[in-house]
Chains A and B, each alone.
Chain A
Amino acid sequence: MSEQPSSPTRRRLLMAAPLVVAGGVGVGFWRMLSGMTKGSFDPHDIHAPALNRPVPDFALPDQAPGTGFSAADLRGLKAPVLVNYFASWCIPCVAEMPVLNVLKDRLPIWGIAYKDKPEHALGFVQRAGNPYARIASDHDGLAAIDWGVSGVPETFLVGPGGIIRWHTASPITEAMITNTIMPLADSLKQ
Chain B
Amino acid sequence: MKTHPLRRGGLIALLACLLFAPLVALAVDDPSEMLPDPAQEQRAEAIGAQLRCLVCQNESIEDSSADLARDLRHVVREHVAKGESNQQIMDWMVNRYGNFIRLKPPFTIGTLLLWVMPLLALCIGIGIAWWTFRRPRAPVPPPLSDEERRRLSDLTETR
Point out residues on A near B: beta carbons under 8 Å.
Answer: 1, 5-6, 14, 46-49, 56, 115, 140-142, 145-148, 150-151
Contact = CB atoms under 8 A, between A and B. Distances in A.
Dominant secondary structure at the B interface: helix
A134 B98 CA distance: 29
A46 B100 contact: yes
A48 B100 CA distance: 8
26 contacts: A1-B130, A1-B134, A5-B134, A5-B135, A6-B135, A6-B136, A46-B97, A47-B100, A48-B96, A48-B97, A48-B98, A49-B97, A49-B98, A56-B96, A115-B67, A141-B68, A141-B71, A142-B71, A142-B75, A145-B71, A148-B96, A148-B98, A150-B54, A150-B68, A151-B54, A151-B68
B82 to A, nearest CB: 15
Interface size class of chain B, counting residues whose CB lies under 8 Å from the partner chain: 20 to 34
Interface in B40-70: 54-55, 67-68
B95 interface: yes
B128 interface: yes
The CB with the most chain A CB atoms within 10 A, among B72, B95, B130, is that of B95
The CB with the most chain B CB atoms within 10 A, among A1, A46, A115, A142, is that of A46
Contacts of A14: 128
A145 B92 CA distance: 10
Given A6-B138, A46-B54, A151-B55, A145 B96 contact: yes
A31 B138 CA distance: 42
A181 to B, nearest CB: 22
A43 B131 CA distance: 40
Interface in B5-26: none
Interface string B121-143: 00000001011001110100000
